[in-house]
Amino acid sequence: MHPEVLKKCIEAQKSKSILANCSANQKNNILEHIADSLENNKEVILKENKRDLDLLKNSEGYTKAFHDRLLLTEERISDMAKGLREIAALEDPIGEVTGMWKRPNGLQIGLTRVPIGVISIIYEARPNVTIDAAGLSLKSGNVVILRGSSEALNSNKALVNIIQQSLNNLNLPAASVSLIEDTERAAALDLMKANEYLDLLIPRGGSSLIKTVIDNSTVPVIQTGAGNCHTYIDSSADLESAYNIALNAKIQRPGVCNAMETLLVHRDIAPDFLPKLISALTDQGVEVRGCKKTTMYSTLVKTANHKDWETEYLDLILAIKVVNSVEEAVEHINCYGTGHSEAIITDSYQNSRLFLNQVDAAAVYVNASTRFTDGMMFGLGAEMGISTQKLHVRGPMGLEALTSLKYLIYGSGQTRM
């Protein structure tokens, strides 16, 4: 095994029992301390982030959306600190008794929440994930091993250094949160096979990263992130509301997994709705690709092909398709969607119920932007990722998603006959 990976896995194992037995007050103090340290060290963080951004600008993979994912600002650092304080304010799930019952033989059986143990997360160029993952793991009593991408290495090292200093200051093991600094593929592959040390692995990023982890990991994996998200504008929709929601879902932050990638529009409102929307989208730098009917409404639209319906662009690109009914919209979404976030804009109760009941996704919206699929927006403080699978969690993963259950059995001398 890769030397750095092995060393940090061993250290994580040694730390997990200490962290698992911390009180709620101890864990909250850690989070508050880290939040204060983030705000007190903004200049250091921004300096290291600038090093990453400067390197990115000279790389072949540079896009504005990629730049936005990597970028840290004073406001974003303040938001990370705020997120940690919100996590600290949440109820501690560890030790919660979720059920208790008595058997005829007198045994008292209960279920209680416990930490999962050692979690690792492999993620792409989003430094805020470093803080989200650390905060949620610490509050839920889990040790976490972070493995970010090379593009964010300097930012992540600065953030983890701040976290570890806080842990040291509070006499807790620094290895409770660690970072694999080797960004070569071999180190990541060894982490994926460290099932002797890891209890859970979470990939957070694009579809290629998620596929690589699923194909190679011997550690249990929760699949997250890939978001080919749709918004369907129904024939009964309020067009002003639909216009505002569609713009927000695409352009507010196009490089994140809950941004809209395909817009479906009912044929009855397409002539009134699409020309204005397409004009606004292109004014904002969005490349629009559409079906044959969509191209009739604007010369700015490129003709879409089959691949466009299944692509998560993570960029200022949008596919548009005109459909004949809500049923056709649902069929398209269930065919091409990734089970992430889907929305209907409608004033029809019947169509909203059909959409809610028949669309297979972690988050399904009526008259709101898909951009709200987010741990902080859902009141979870932050998220470890957005699970697009169905076991053991689905949707934004907060504290409860990072726990397991333990049976507690109280007896009075019973033996089995």
pLDDT of residue 41: 98
Which of these ranges, 76-80, 157-161, 210-214, has the smallest mean pLDDT?
A: 210-214
Distance CA 298, CA 277 (A): 10
pLDDT of residue 412: 97
Note the pLDDT tens digit of each residue in 98-109: 999 999 999 999
Q: Can you give the CATH number for the domain in which 281 is found?
A: 3.40.309.10
In a domain, 80, yes or no: yes
pLDDT of residue 207: 81
Facing residues of 404 across strands?
114
- Where residue 179 falls among pLDDT bands split at 50, 70, 90? very high
Domain count, the chain: 2
Facing residues of 289 across strands?
302, 319
- Do both 49 and 103 map to the same domain? yes
Q: Please enumerate in sequence order all residues whose Cβ is within 8 A of that of 416, keeping only pairs 6 or more positions apart, or say none.
A: none
Note the pLDDT tens digit of each residue in 348-390: 999 999 999 999 999 999 999 999 999 999 999 899 999 999 8
Distance CA 132, CA 382 (A): 6
pLDDT of residue 386: 94
Which of these ranges, 145-159, 196-210, 238-252, 320-334, has the smallest mean pLDDT?
A: 196-210
DSSP-based three-state secondary structure for 282: helix
In a domain, 187, yes or no: yes
Sign for the pseudo-dihedral over CA of 368, 373, 375, 376: negative
CB 120 within 8 A of CB 199: no
Q: How far apart are the first and last CA of the chain?
A: 48
Task: Calculate the average pLDDT of the chain.
Answer: 96
- Mean per-residue pLDDT, 217-226: 90
In a domain, 417, yes or no: no
Distance CA 123, CA 291 (A): 34
- Do both 94 and 220 map to the same domain? yes
Distance CA 37, CA 372 (A): 28
In a domain, 240, yes or no: yes
Distance CA 179, CA 209 (A): 18
In a domain, 379, yes or no: no
- Do both 325 and 248 map to the same domain? yes
CB 366 within 8 A of CB 344: yes
In a domain, 198, yes or no: yes
DSSP-based three-state secondary structure for 406: strand
In a domain, 343, yes or no: yes
Structure tokens of 250? 């695409």
The answer, yes or no, to whether residue 326 has pLDDT greater than 80, is yes
Closest CA to 190 of 159, 240, 145, 142: 145
- Do both 65 and 153 map to the same domain? yes
- Do both 354 and 250 map to the same domain? yes
Query: Range of 178's domain?
Result: 3-224+384-410
- Do both 220 and 304 map to the same domain? no
pLDDT of residue 206: 81
Q: Can you give the CATH number for the domain in which 59 is found?
A: 3.40.605.10
Closest CA to 364 of 333, 337, 343: 343
The answer, yes or no, to whether residue 228 has pLDDT greater than 90, is yes
What ranges in 203-341 are assigned the alpha helix state H?
207-216, 239-251, 270-283, 292-295, 326-336
Answering whether pTM is above 0.95, one says no
- Do both 367 and 391 map to the same domain? no
In a domain, 415, yes or no: no
pLDDT of residue 223: 87
Note the pLDDT tens digit of each residue in 292-312: 999 999 999 999 999 999 999
- Do both 136 and 209 map to the same domain? yes
How far CA 104 is from CA of 99, 166, 363, 413, in Å, comes to: 17, 50, 42, 14
- Do both 38 and 57 map to the same domain? yes
- Do both 173 and 238 map to the same domain? no
- Do both 119 and 218 map to the same domain? yes
- Do both 218 and 238 map to the same domain? no
